């Protein structure tokens, strides 16, 4: 299996876990509170499998960068957070950085 697919699964489950953090309202809601730990455990499972075929420096940067970008999108569209010009420009910079890291992995 392609290790980048495993990394993508890790990112998606991490975003679900982070979303549940918001939904748990400071651990005051049971189901989202439990799901935080479930989603993060699954995320780390897939991330660990992805590390079999991707350098840890590249994998972690992609995981953190795309996770940050996706949770920003979730915040804007689901939680109605403001989408300022600076936030959107910063989001593009994060994505550009992830693409650059991915390309640098192939250039070696």
pLDDT band, very low/low/confident/very high, at 100 (cuts 50, 70, 90):
confident
For residue 107, pLDDT over 80 is answered with no
Name the token pair of 95: 């994505």
pLDDT band, very low/low/confident/very high, at 7 (cuts 50, 70, 90):
very high
How far, in Å, CA of 5 to CA of 11, rounded? 10
Total domain count for the chain?
1
38 SS3 class: helix
pLDDT by residue (tens digit) across 37-83?
999 999 999 999 999 999 998 899 899 999 999 999 999 999 999 99
Domain range spanning residue 82? 3-107
pTM score, two decimals? 0.89
pLDDT at 92: 92
């Amino acid at each position: 299996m392609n290790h980048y697919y495993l990394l993508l699964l890790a990112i998606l489950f991490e975003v679900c876990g982070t979303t549940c953090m918001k939904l748990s309202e400071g651990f005051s809601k049971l189901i989202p509170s439990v799901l935080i730990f479930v989603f993060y455990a699954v995320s780390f499972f897939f991330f660990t499998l992805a590390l079999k075929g991707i350098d840890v420096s590249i994998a972690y940067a992609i995981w953190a960068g795309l996770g940050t970008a996706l949770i920003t999108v979730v915040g804007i569209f689901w939680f109605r957070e403001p989408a300022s010009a600076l936030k959107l420009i910063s989001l593009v910079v994060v994505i550009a950085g992830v693409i650059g890291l991915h390309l640098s992995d192939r250039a070696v």
